[in-house]
Structure 1
Amino acid sequence: MTLFSDGQLYIAGKLRDAEGGAKYEDIGPWTGEIVAYAADASAADMEEAIAAARHAFDETDWSTNIALRRKLVKKLGEALKAERERLSEIARHEVGAAVLGVRIAHVDGPLNDIDTLFEIFDTIEWEKPLGDRSSWGIASKRTLVKEAAGVVGVITPWNVPFYITVGKVIPALLAGCTVIIKPAPDTPLLSAIVGELAAKVGFPAGVLNVVTGKDPALLGEMLTTDKRVDLISFTGSTGVGKRIMEKGADTLKRIFLELGGKSAAILLEDTPDFATAVAQSIVCFHAGQGCATITRLLVPRSRYDEAVAVLEAAYAGYSQAWGDFEDPNNVMGPLISARQRDRVMGFIEAGKAEGARLIAGGNVASDKGNGFFVEPTCFVDVTNDMKIAREEIFGPVLVVIPFEDEEDAIRIANDSDYGLSGAVRSADPERAMRVAKRIRTGTVGVNGGLSIAVDLPFGGYKQSGIGKEWGAEGFDEYLETKVISVGA
């Protein structure tokens, strides 16, 4: 018996099954068992969704009727809040979220963010006078106008799918775009419920569409290559992001990419309460399945032995305090799938082979049940040229790297293909800020500061992505800028 009702497609204003009634299994990470079945869309289903979104943008007043879309998106937001409990249960069983993780990031966090997104939306200047000016003897009265970008393909990941869906879909709809959501195959239900509630609220046909399926390449590449889709907003791996850029080049569509990370925390030698800062570096939240998770810990060589001793004790103390489905204080559960578990174990074996020293974890946690569990793992004696220091593992694995001085720490932190997040700690705030400004990442937390929030722009440097999500800059991703000049 499955836990949840089957997920349906939402296309052209209608909830329905996939072509031919096709479905696929939705596997729960805690147990490895089926929790639901989801509609397995065909190319024909996606074609209908693209056509519906294009028609809704071109032939209705959605893109220009600000009052209408604010009203309907507000209703959708309130409908989502009313389903907090069901969303939480789906996140726990489908995504593998622990109880405290649901409250922080998976459900409660994004639901609370909806009101902030409306506050940002209400600050947009849709028309802005640019003044009168004469150029080349021609006097003109100029106006800057903001307009919706068009049809948006939203491609979401499996790690925090509802969080990402809210952060993309609410701004895109408010901006006047029409949207096609294509969720990761592992987590279809948290998108299917958005379609269900959009139907209940009464969205105009084609404004919002949800297309689930087990073949991400088929459906994703249809969105990426179709000239009727104006913009792709993607969160996921760097490899897939590169593929999207390549496939989107032929139609020159706009691309937003929020990709991988290998973020570093620098603990300078004067870090206050050094032991606590080191102990708090355990990679455990959602089993390390977060793009902005700090997975490289940089500590001064002068305090390296101290840091290793603290980590040995911290991991030993945490070894049994995770993986409990019912524990209200638990933040760590399983990995999303057997495939991801095996991938993480492959990195762990690579770390051993490269000569890094394992001081905690390193095994499949079979004592936790039949789900996809890997122990919280820590490697020390790591050099920044090792595979485990350079590639995104997306699992509960921390690597510890010593540095000689401040310049060496900055060099190591920046010696990465990624640049998504980071952290710096020092007793001297000016010193910490100086170092933070030299770290080539999109966000940096200084002395415990939270640099990732829905009212702040979020995005990476280098191979961590292109563009910004959230904040006013996030809305700009879904807007075009037009200048109208009238002869005086």
Structure 2
Amino acid sequence: MSLRPASSSDLLIDGKLTPGGGGTFDVVNPATEEVLGQAADATAADMDAAIAAARLAFDTTDWSRDPALRARCLRQLRDALLAHADELRELTVAEVGCPVFLTHGPQFEGPVNDLGYFADLAESYEWTTDLGRAKPMGIKNVREIRKEAAGVVGAITPWNFPHQINFAKIGPALAAGCTVVLKPAPDTPWCAALVGKVIAEETDFPPGVVNIVTSSDHSLGAQLSTDPRVDLVSFTGSTATGKKVMAGAAESLKKVFLELGGKSAFIVLDDADLASACAMAAFNVVTHAGQGCAITTRLLVPREKLDEAIAATRDSLSGLAAGDPTDAGTICGPLISAVQRDRVEAYIELAKTEGGTIEIGGGRPADKNSGFFVEPTLISGLDNSARVAQEEIFGPVLVILPHDGDDDAIRIANDSPYGLSGAVWGSDTARIDKVVNGVRTGTMGINGGIWYSADVPFGGYKHSGIGREMGVAGFEEYLESKAVATPA
């Protein structure tokens, strides 16, 4: 079976592939600006049907009570997707604009293989916990806690790492026994729609358990948030939109998981290998053109080494030019759209008006006549109060800031509305631990350490979100606890 849509992809509703009631909308290659094809454009009526199917499947089937079936279906999905790996890799690079090397990690293979982790968890998880005997009010009882699926999950996902984020939601939700309605971003509909095709044609998922609704209409995400038939909303995206999701969910008091923005700090201590640290900071910020919420976009270096750090970072960025994402050597591909490119360019202009210096980059690559490319950019000469140091840009833009010692670096890192990720480089273990313990953020890498894995919970403090995704903690976001007592 070929996954490439002949002309357009379909919705998956109640186990059936179906066209969208709104016709279709274009899928654009961000590296070439060419139209790849079309995706089904769902309407509010389509979303209503998907929610109804998920509700019916949860309420009337044994899906939520059959972990063996759930594990089998998740492994079927994993194996079927891997069987289509070459085709999906090509389509992902074309639709997302991500460098092809990333499809061997978080842009495809990583999250697909993570489905196996959640299948294993469905089988091994302790669904019942014995609390032993007690005598409340003098009456002997045997008590236990049972874990049960939360119900119907509305998953709303962004465009930057579509496979990673789609599977980070539907994987644990399905393993927990929930049914799902997935609303992917309109910039990357095929990454979700083609998974729907595999589910419908190559797995045993019962009808209605997974529903995938692509649409150019952002209000369909709001529909998921407000519909009382949805028990939990899992959203990844901007903090501004996350607040709207939370407000919409409040009317029906549904559970909400939010993974939002970041402005993460890369802290270099005065005993670190400065050249290595600056090279890693440069590599991080240009990966996938900086389009990652956990990417470190503030580089904090010792004040006395600022000039040296600027030179080292500038040299590293000069070798990481924006390029064709199909080239195996490309690290920095295009931005997702003209809208996103305009946003990034506006921030670079803002940095200039705020008094910043563009050390390298700052424009569009001279050798690119098409595609939504922006040069890797380093900004100096500003302090942490500048908007480009406080706001999420979502592009290959790094702001370098001086600090006056470890305590000052912690202060600057925490002087942000966000708290998603971070990094620290140094030699003294005690000083590193002080920084790690002092920075209020959900993940930290030490000297290049990589925390990304299926078993590691991911999420943030403050405006970076509520709850955790991945790992056992992420799995348990999709569960409810029920206390049961029986007379002894």
Partner Cα distance (1:103, 1:77) in 2: 15
Deviations 1:270-318 (A, max 9, x none): 01x2111112211210000000000000001011111112122222333
Residue 4 of structure 1: CA displacement?
4.3
The 5-angstrom pairing of residues 39-50 of structure 1 reads: 39-50=40-51
Deviations 1:320-355 (A, max 9, x none): xx4124421222110000000000001000001001
Q: Determine the structure 1 residue equivalent to 2:103.
A: 102
Q: Determine the structure 2 residue equivalent to 1:136.
A: 137
Deviations 1:412-461 (A, max 9, x none): 00000000000111111121012101100000111221122221110000
Q: Determine the structure 2 residue equivalent to 1:305.
A: 307
Partner Cα distance (2:20, 2:318) in 1: 48
Letter in 2 for 1:240: T
Deviations 1:377-396 (A, max 9, x none): 00012200001000000000
Letter in 2 for 1:215: D
Residue 128 of structure 1: CA displacement?
1.3
Residue 104 of structure 1: CA displacement?
2.4
Matched, 1:214 2:226: no
Q: Determine the structure 1 residue equivalent to 2:438.
A: 438
Deviations 1:214-244 (A, max 9, x none): 011x210110000000001111111110000
Q: Determine the structure 2 residue equivalent to 1:192.
A: 193
Partner Cα distance (1:142, 1:314) in 2: 61
Contact conserved, 2:154 with 2:224, CA < 8 A, in 1? yes
Partner Cα distance (1:58, 1:118) in 2: 22
Partner Cα distance (1:309, 1:52) in 2: 58
Letter in 2 for 1:452: Y
Q: Determine the structure 2 residue equivalent to 1:226.
A: 227
Matched, 1:284 2:286: yes
Residue 77 of structure 1: CA displacement?
1.6
Partner Cα distance (2:17, 2:354) in 1: 52
Sequence identity, in percent? 51
Contact conserved, 1:234 with 1:241, CA < 8 A, in 2? yes
Q: Determine the structure 2 residue equivalent to 1:154.
A: 155
Answer with 452-461 or 387-396: which moved more.
452-461
Q: Determine the structure 2 residue equivalent to 1:362.
A: 362
Answer with 70-79 or 258-267: which moved more.
70-79
State the TM-score, normalized to the length of structure 1.
Answer: 0.96
Contact conserved, 2:335 with 2:373, CA < 8 A, in 1? yes
Letter in 2 for 1:343: R
SS state of the match for residue 298, structure 1?
Answer: strand
Partner Cα distance (1:52, 1:366) in 2: 51
Contact conserved, 1:29 with 1:371, CA < 8 A, in 2? yes
Answer with 298-307 or 64-73: which moved more.
64-73
Answer with 347-356 or 107-116: which moved more.
107-116
Letter in 2 for 1:112: N
How many equivalent pairs are there?
A: 481
Partner Cα distance (1:80, 1:202) in 2: 14
Answer with 435-444 or 199-208: which moved more.
199-208
Contact conserved, 1:120 with 1:471, CA < 8 A, in 2? no
Deviations 1:40-74 (A, max 9, x none): 00111111001010000001111112222221222
Partner Cα distance (2:32, 2:366) in 1: 11
Structure 1 unmatched runs, 5+: none
Contact conserved, 1:344 with 1:394, CA < 8 A, in 2? yes
Contact conserved, 1:150 with 1:177, CA < 8 A, in 2? yes
Residue 119 of structure 1: CA displacement?
3.4
Letter in 1 for 2:430: E
Q: Determine the structure 1 residue equivalent to 2:416.
A: 416
Letter in 1 for 2:119: F
Letter in 1 for 2:477: E
State the TM-score, normalized to the length of structure 2.
Answer: 0.96
Q: Determine the structure 1 residue equivalent to 2:400.
A: 400
Deviations 1:116-168 (A, max 9, x none): 33333333111111110112212210011010000001111100001111111
Partner Cα distance (2:137, 2:245) in 1: 43
